[in-house]
A and B are shown apart, each in its own frame.
Chain A
C-alpha cells in the first residue's frame, strides 16, 4: 500500500482567475516581490499496489479519465511513503 500525491494545475496558457485575484491581493498587502501566482489542487490517496509500473498505469488512467481535464489542466504525481497498516 502506497500513498500518492497528485498535483493538478491549469496549463500555462489557461487564464487562472483565482491566481490573478490573489496576485492583486498580495500586491495590495505591499508584497510587490510576488508575481505569477497559480492556484492548483492536490489529491492524496492510498493505492493497494507496490509495483511502480502498475501505480503509473492506474494513476495516469484515472488522471486522464476523471481527476483532470487534459484540455485545460496538467498533472504530476509523487509516490510517497509506504502506508503503515
Chain B
C-alpha cells in the first residue's frame, strides 16, 4: 500500500483534509513535521494549503527554507509524486520545483467559492482518471492565487504540456487562466484549487477524489517524461 507524507508547517490548515483525501483514496498517510530531515519511507508528498509561517515576508517564503524542504526536493528528484495545493503550490514555486510565482489576486480580495475548471492535461500521473478537457468543480480559497510567469516560461510550459488545470472563469487574473502546472518530468504538481475539499457529492462535489486515487495507483515506471 502507498504511504504518503502530509507536511505540517506552523499555519498549515488544510492538512487534515489532505490526510483524509489520501486515506479515502486508499493510501496510507501520516503527518510529517516541517523540521523533519528525511522523507525516506514515503511514496509521495502532499503539501497542504493554509498560511505557513503566517505568510510572513511572502506566502511560502519561510516554508521554503524549513528543514523538510531539502527532503521534499530529494523526493521530487527521486521521481516520487509531489502535490502542492494552494499554499503548497506557493511553496513549490518558492523552492523552485515549479516555475513562476503566485501574486495577489487582481482585485486584492480573498476568494472562497466553488470554481469551474478544465483538465488541460489528462496524461499526468495525477490526472489520468479524467478526460482531456473535462470540466470539474473544485473549491478555491486564496488571496494570492494569480499565477505569474514571464513569456519565455509560459512558452516552455505550453511546449512541454505542463499546464494541467485551467479556470473556466478566471477569478484572480492568472496568466492564461492557469490554475495548476506540473514540472517537466511530470511528478511535481501544484494547483491553487482544492481537490481535497471536493470528495463528497453531499458536500457539493466529489470531482477531486479521482486525483488522489490516481496518485495512489502511481507506479515508478509509469512516470511520464515530457
Contact = CB atoms under 8 A, between A and B. Distances in A.
Interface of A: 10, 14-15, 17-18, 20-21, 65-67, 69, 71-72
A21 B106 CA distance: 10
A40 to B, nearest CB: 12
B150 to A, nearest CB: 8
Contacts of B107: 17
A71 B101 contact: yes
A65 B95 CA distance: 9
B61 A17 contact: no
A17 B94 contact: no
Interface in B52-77: 57-58, 61, 64-65
B108 interface: yes
A71 B106 CA distance: 18
Nearest to B65: A66
B104 interface: yes
Given A69-B94, A72-B101, A14 B65 contact: no
12 contacts: A10-B103, A15-B106, A17-B104, A17-B107, A17-B108, A65-B65, A69-B58, A69-B101, A71-B101, A71-B148, A72-B101, A72-B103
Nearest to A71: B101
A21 B94 CA distance: 26
B197 interface: no
Nearest to A13: B150
A14 B146 CA distance: 11
Interface string B101-119: 1011111100000000000
Interface string B74-85: 000000000000
A18 B143 CA distance: 12
Contacts of A10: 103
A12 to B, nearest CB: 12
A15 B61 contact: no
A18 B104 contact: yes
Contacts of A67: 57
A20 to B, nearest CB: 8
Contacts of A72: 101, 103, 148
B106 A14 contact: no
Nearest to B100: A71
Contacts of A14: 103, 148
Q: Which 9 A-B pairs have the closest CB atoms?
A: A17-B108, A17-B104, A71-B101, A72-B101, A66-B65, A69-B101, A69-B58, A21-B108, A72-B148
A20 B173 CA distance: 14
B93 interface: yes
Given A69-B94, A71-B93, A18 B103 contact: no
Nearest to B144: A17
